[in-house]
Amino acid sequence: MAWGIGGVLLLLIFAIFRLAPMALELENSSMSMVHWLTLVFSVVYMAYAEGYKGFHLGFAPRVVVRARYLANNPRPLHVLLAPLFCMGYVYATRRRKIVSFALTTMIISFILIARSMPQPWRGILDAGVVVGLSLGVLSIGYFLIISSSDPTRLTISAEVPGDS
């Protein structure tokens, strides 16, 4: 369970530390009112869409549930690939795999687009993403605490083959 959740958290924290410097560069940029309003919108929107809706309501509880499932049903290959298992790439329903790979493709596309943006626009976008990812890390911690204190509180499906 620790390797699965720890691997996912390391991936998210690595992304935060890679993007944060671009967001912090905004401090050295001259920004107009449009830039400031866009920054506020980016941070608020990403906190809601990525942090709350994406991570807190979907990804974070599923990572914890799948990690708990893996801890209770270990298979050597699944344990070795525990972070990928927890994210739904390994031993998941067809639907979960499709959603996981589609989201990854979309995220990679957005990263490639964002890299080509000049400052302050890239920093504005990255600030929102850093907020969303940070809320995702906190959400995983929250659901891990809930799951540790009362495993029956997380009632979502692990979306493994044979789950109904």
pTM of this structure? 0.91
Whether the link from the prior residue into 76 is cis, omega within 30° of 0, is no
> How far is 20 from 13, CA to CA, in rounded Å?
10
Q: What is the pLDDT of residues 95-138, one digit of tens each?
A: 999 999 999 998 888 888 888 999 999 999 999 999 999 999 99
pLDDT in tens, the chain (164 residues): 899 999 999 999 999 999 999 999 999 889 999 999 999 999 999 999 999 999 999 999 999 999 999 999 999 999 999 999 999 999 999 999 999 999 999 888 888 888 899 999 999 999 999 999 999 999 999 999 999 998 888 889 999 998 65
Residue type, 103: L
Report domain extents, the chain: 2-26+33-153
Average pLDDT of the chain?
94
Alpha-carbon span 145 to 147, nearest angstrom = 5
How distant, in Å, are the alpha carbons of 6, 12, 21, 64 from that of 55? 16, 11, 23, 12
